[in-house]
Structure 1
Amino acid sequence: MVAIDYIETETAILEHKDDYLYIAFKKDAEIELEHVIANKEAREKIQQGKKMLVLGDIRYMWHISKAAQDYLASKEVTSLNIAMAILTSSLMTVLLANFFIKFKQPATPTKMFKNEEKAIKWLLSFKH
């Protein structure tokens, strides 16, 4: 049982849904290393040591630093995931997601989507 279902940080909203963790970056968020560290700490409070399916909504994010990308792709963060779907919409976020997946090569299955329903369906295919 998850004790905490919702946490808001400076740059993101993290919410435990029925079968996955939804992480939505706030509008025009400029993500630096300290932000992803704070978001990871929030995830740990929600996840309580359990790996989860993750839907990362970056549709409104403005920028993410190289250090933040490296940290997000590290085993320290990906060890919290079963799989991650990245929800994008604009050319900017599509480029960010493609770069992250191709060059950072997260250790758990990671895929980009423009459609939320398809992203959730893909995530749930990893449900145990």
Structure 2
Amino acid sequence: MLTYDPRGFVKKVTKDGAEYTLQDAEEDFEAAKKLAGGLPRPLLVDERGLRGADHAVRKFWVSPDVPAVCKCVAVITGNSPVSNMIGNFVITVSKPAVPTKLFASEQAAMPWIEWFLDDEHDSPPPSLRFR
């Protein structure tokens, strides 16, 4: 489910046990585009309920089309060391077209998301406070 947060970003929450397909990704991308009102916005993705996503999905979300809709992507994975290890590996290998970072909670992700709400910021913050 995707919603527009009044603070200025798009939020996606994955249902528990979901198998995320390429069709789901394409539908979410179009929904995010509409919610964002034609401007690139930060995307906060809560993937704690995700059961799996295939290579086509990962390839879709790192495509050159993403910056037209997403200014950055903050992914909530929870506190699982395995999920974080796999997620960080995928981010490193896939080289997303927009800054992408994993977080344990929405609270932890918000300072990073808020950095990108400023129109002057297109790259990650330099401060260690955000890492």
Instruction: Quote the Cα distance in structure 2 between the aligned partners of 1:118 and 1:91.
Output: 16
Going from structure 1 to structure 2, the CA distance change for 1:96 and 1:77 (only over 3 Å counts) comes to: farther
Write out the 4+ residue segments of structure 1 that deviate beyond 4 Å after TM superposition. Answer: none
Question: Where do residues 1-128 of structure 1 align in structure 2 (5 Å cutoff)?
Answer: 13-17=1-5, 18-89=7-78, 90-91=80-81, 93-128=83-118
Tell me if the contact between 1:25 and 1:57 (Cα under 8 Å) persists in the aligned partners.
yes
> What is the Cα deviation at residue 109 of structure 1?
1.1
Which secondary structure does the structure 2 equivalent of 1:93 belong to? helix
Which secondary structure does the structure 2 equivalent of 1:27 belong to? coil
Which secondary structure does the structure 1 equivalent of 2:96 belong to? coil
Runs (5+) with no aligned partner, structure 1: 1-12
Which secondary structure does the structure 2 equivalent of 1:30 belong to? strand
Stretch deviating more after TM superposition (108-117 or 84-93): 84-93
Number of residue pairs matched by the alignment? 116
Q: CA RMSD in A?
A: 1.5
Instruction: Quote the Cα distance in structure 2 between the aligned partners of 1:37 and 1:92.
Output: 27
Instruction: Quote the Cα distance in structure 2 between the aligned partners of 1:91 and 1:71.
Output: 25
Going from structure 1 to structure 2, the CA distance change for 1:54 and 1:23 (only over 3 Å counts) comes to: same
> What is the Cα deviation at residue 96 of structure 1?
4.4
- Paired position in structure 2 for 1:4: none
TM-score, normalised by the number of residues in structure 2: 0.80
TM-score, normalised by the number of residues in structure 1: 0.82
> What is the Cα deviation at residue 19 of structure 1?
2.2
Give aligned-pair identity as a percent: 27
**Residues 7-40 of structure 1: CA deviation (Å, up to 9, x unaligned):** xxxxxx1011122111111111101111101111
